[in-house]
Structure 1
């Protein structure tokens, strides 16, 4: 089966910027009280009920933070370069190369899943099966947390983290993402939209959903 062009572009771009991205964003959570608050709430809700996947983990900065909150967490990312960076930064944690569209996980194997700005490179028309895949791997009562930029447009990115790249990113309406979660059989527990904080240019959304027990 031929890989979609957007998947190839996304992998190539993040392989290109992996080390620069990891360095530039390494301490970003220290400056993001909203992000920490949402992640901490997710960690409290999931607790020690089982395994948590940081899906689209990049260099593992959130994986490490969630582990510090007591979660049994591992990371998956499309980019081998990002996984290499994550393993160097957090050698005590498990990281694997993989795709959110076809996770190498059994049905119902996760107590929690985080897709933190990792849905934004999938065209909206192709997002429903990805969210259905995230729902598939959640155990009954398990929770999905996702974050994304708010809007309804495609942006072509040609420069990032000091490198020439070529990929698309999509700003998404929160009601659209919530609707896809409901279609996948999840119950939306919370939607939070906050105003942009420099250097952000658009509002940011957090969405928390639960798989019914």
Structure 2
């Protein structure tokens, strides 16, 4: 599904910066009330539907997983980076974090009540997004919810030597129209779409889409 070289580059990048990244983003959501509101709305939907566990795919150091847990969601995190998983387990010892790729999870069809992809699409080449969304659709039970957030733009950003580590990686910015069209083509209903201006250290606008796999009537 995904380019193995892309996955290995992404894994090496986040393995190298995991500790520094966790410290930098430790209080990220404190200054982003709109993001907290969107995550809170998703949590309410997931709790009310009660269709199964929620997977936070690309969970990083676990701050979003922990927030969802605090809101009463049965949630676990998955991240490609083993070092990120180790950091998340250390910071949030009561929560479950697994190493794995969101492009090919060893989970049964319809085994999740919700999927969160909070800025975890940004290292996926745009041409591979249909396959990623198809995997999300496969994992969700009918009626399950998907929340995805990403940077808005039409050009990738290349990051060199973050925190002084000898690694680099491309960050793909996406069009909200493109993402919405791909979700609909995969079979999702898009219920909410937001685009907000940058805050704090952000350089570009940020988008979030809340979608749902149709329930069986």
Which bin holds the TM-score, normalised by the shorter protein? over 0.9
Matches within 5 A, 1:18-33: 18-33=18-33
- Cα distance in 1, alignment partners of residues 190 and 131 from structure 2: 17
**Superposed, which structure 2 residues align to 1:106-185 within 5 Å?**
106-185=108-187
SS of the aligned residue for 1:175 comes to helix
Identify the residue that residue 107 of structure 2 maps to in structure 1: 105
Aligned to 1:36: 36
CA contact (8 A) 1:20 1:162 kept: no
Tell me, in whole angstroms, the C-alpha distance in 2 between the residues paired with 1:152 and 1:3. Answer: 21
Aligned length: 213
8 Å contact kept, 1:115–1:147: yes
Given that 1:138 and 1:211 are in contact with CA atoms closer than 8 Å, whether structure 2 keeps it comes out as: yes
Matches of 1:80 and 1:117 in 2, distance apart? Answer: 18
Aligned-pair CA distance for 1:162: 4.1
Equivalents in 1 of 2:185, 2:140: separation in Å? 15
Indicate whether 1:195 and 2:182 are aligned.
no
Structure 1 match to 2:9: 9
Is 2:93 aligned against 1:91?
A: yes
Q: Is the contact made by 2:31 and 2:200 (CA closer than 8 Å) also made in structure 1?
A: no
Q: Which has the higher strand share?
A: 1
Could you say if the C-alpha distance between residues 33 and 161 of structure 1 is closer, same or farther in structure 2, counting changes exceeding 3 Å?
Answer: farther
Q: Per-residue displacement from partner, 1:22-76 (whole Å, max 9, x unpaired)?
A: 1111111111101100000101111150200000000111101100000000000
Whole-angstrom distance in 1 between the partners of 2:72 and 2:106: 24
Q: Is the 8 A contact 1:188 1:209 kept in 2?
A: yes
Q: Name the residue aligned to 1:66.
A: 68
Q: CA RMSD in A?
A: 1.4
Unaligned runs of 5+ in 1: none
Alpha-carbon distance in 2 for matches of 1:181, 1:161: 35
Where in structure 2 are there 5+ consecutive unaligned residues?
Answer: none
The 1:3/1:127 distance shift into structure 2, 3 A limit, reads closer
CA offset digits 1:152-196 (Å, max 9, x no partner): 111211132443321111000001111111121110011100011
